[in-house]
């Protein structure tokens, strides 16, 4: 079970849009619509931002959106705000053997 692949860092200016990719395999992202995304501020526990690839929990801004194509999932943040500066992690369910795997995390910097 290998970690999902995310870019180490992304950056953008306020008001812009950024996309964070998350690449897995045909055993996880490619086979299941169970990709979730988490936002983590320093010293805090992660918080769920996207589940089942593209669904937003209640209370999460509609500036956050998710998608999937093949073995790669993506998180897009539109209308970037300073408060979005955080670490973002993707996670996929691994199916047959009931496992979960995380990406290495992406640090978002708002310039």
Partner 1 sequence: QMPLQESGPGLVKPSETLSLTCTVSGGSISSSTYYWGWIRQPPGKGLEWIGSIFYSGKTYFNPSLKSRVTISVDTAKNLFSLNLRSVTAADTAFYYCARLTYSSKDIDYWGQGTLVTVSS
Strand partners, 92: 35, 101
Q: Does 89 bind partner 1 (CB under 8 A)?
A: yes
Q: Which of 109, 105, 32, 104 is nearest to 77 (CA)?
A: 109
Whether residue 96 contacts residue 90, with contact meaning beta carbons closer than 8 Å, is answered with no
Cα dihedral 60, 3, 7, 55 in deg (nearest 10): -20
- For the bound state, the minimum distance from the C-beta of residue 52 to partner 1, rounded and expressed in Å, comes to 5
The residue range among 9-17, 34-42, 66-74, 77-85 that interacts with partner 1, by the rule CB under 8 A, is 34-42
Q: Does 5 bind partner 1 (CB under 8 A)?
A: no
- Binding test (CB under 8 A) with partner 1, winner from 79, 81, 100, 109: 100
- Binding test (CB under 8 A) with partner 1, winner from 20, 73, 75, 103: 103
């Amino acid at each position: 079970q290998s970690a999902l692949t995310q870019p180490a860092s992304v950056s953008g200016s306020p008001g812009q849009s950024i996309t964070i990719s998350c690449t897995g395999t045909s055993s996880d992202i490619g086979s299941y619509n169970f990709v979730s995304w988490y936002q983590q501020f320093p010293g805090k526990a992660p918080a769920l931002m996207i589940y089942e690839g593209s669904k937003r929990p209640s209370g999460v801004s509609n500036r956050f959106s998710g998608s999937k194509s093949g073995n790669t999932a993506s998180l897009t943040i539109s209308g970037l705000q300073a408060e979005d500066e955080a670490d973002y992690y993707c996670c996929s369910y691994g199916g047959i053997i009931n496992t979960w795997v995380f990406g290495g995390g992406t640090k978002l910097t708002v310039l």
